[in-house]
Structure 1
Amino acid sequence: MADVDIEVRINGTSCRRTVPPRLTLADFLRVDCGLTGTHLGCEHGVCGACTVMLDGDAVRACLVFAVQADGAEITTIEGIAESDGTLSPVQAAFRDHHGLQCGFCTPGFVVTASAFLRDNPSPTDGEIREALSGNICRCTGYQGIIAAVKAAAGTTTTGQRRRRDG
């Protein structure tokens, strides 16, 4: 198969590349774009470490081909903080409430929580647990993560949802 030209916006910046049709979005972001904050864990869509926002929706970048993202807006962990480097409310809450230890899963949790809180700014504990159920952490025991999301609730506006027709 021939390589394919794609154009995406990543963290607000336009990016054009020619990519192999079977290149995953995760590998595209990490290798082609140098955005290594998107981590690869299981590469089967189970762990959530590679979660990014694709047109505002939290998705597993290991399960999406880069060509499928053509024309899309992508937000990675690198695009969650403010342009001046100020942490987002979710990032600050993870820091303040001990929502991370080794940090490997943290980008996926932060992206997932950011998308979730944008759509549900006043969640219940059960809704938080359900929203984060697709992300796995082997270090924290989840209590700090839940506390961080609760603390950030109502304060986040990260990620823009693009209206889809159809």
Structure 2
Amino acid sequence: MPWSPEHKQQTRDKILQSAAHLFTHNGFNKVSINQVMERAGLTRGAFYKHFNSKKELYSEAVVYGARRMTRDRLDREPDLDRILDLYLSEEHVNSVADACPLAFLVSDIALRDEESRQGYQQVLKGFIKRLAQSTGKDMETATIASILMVGGVALARAVDSPELIEQILNTAKAESKRQLLEAEDVVN
């Protein structure tokens, strides 16, 4: 008896969730299909029923992870000040669970194929648009804030100095809040 469409989707989601976590924390080259499937609690054979290649999985997992992160943060937390505090925090920079692929994969994605970069770009554009909609700000202001948010986390992850990490996060947070919470509303 074949699996139901719901079961197939649940299995696919398990694989994507596992892959999103592993790729976000380790990048493309340091993750194997076996690791993804083991973390998902599935066999390697199940992988090929859902994806043709690791490259295809990576591309879809980046989109899946970022959309999930955006949905969980922007849609469920109405307090933008709190979202910025959580996103631009040392806990997020050092996250072992809910890390943002936009920030954690910023350098890894540059080395990937066009399909993966297009997926990342699509998610980034969606993040900016969602940020603009949720704040009532124009796209330029939302883009500036997104650069500060994603760039702040990416830079903080790249350095070891606790003082510099704190300085980067505090500066990115203060300027993001200034842009999103204090800037004049302009409609594009």
| TM-score normalised by length of structure 2 | 0.26
- Structure whose residues are more often strand by fraction: 1
- Structure whose residues are more often helix by fraction: 2
Larger Rg: 2
| TM-score normalised by length of structure 1 | 0.29
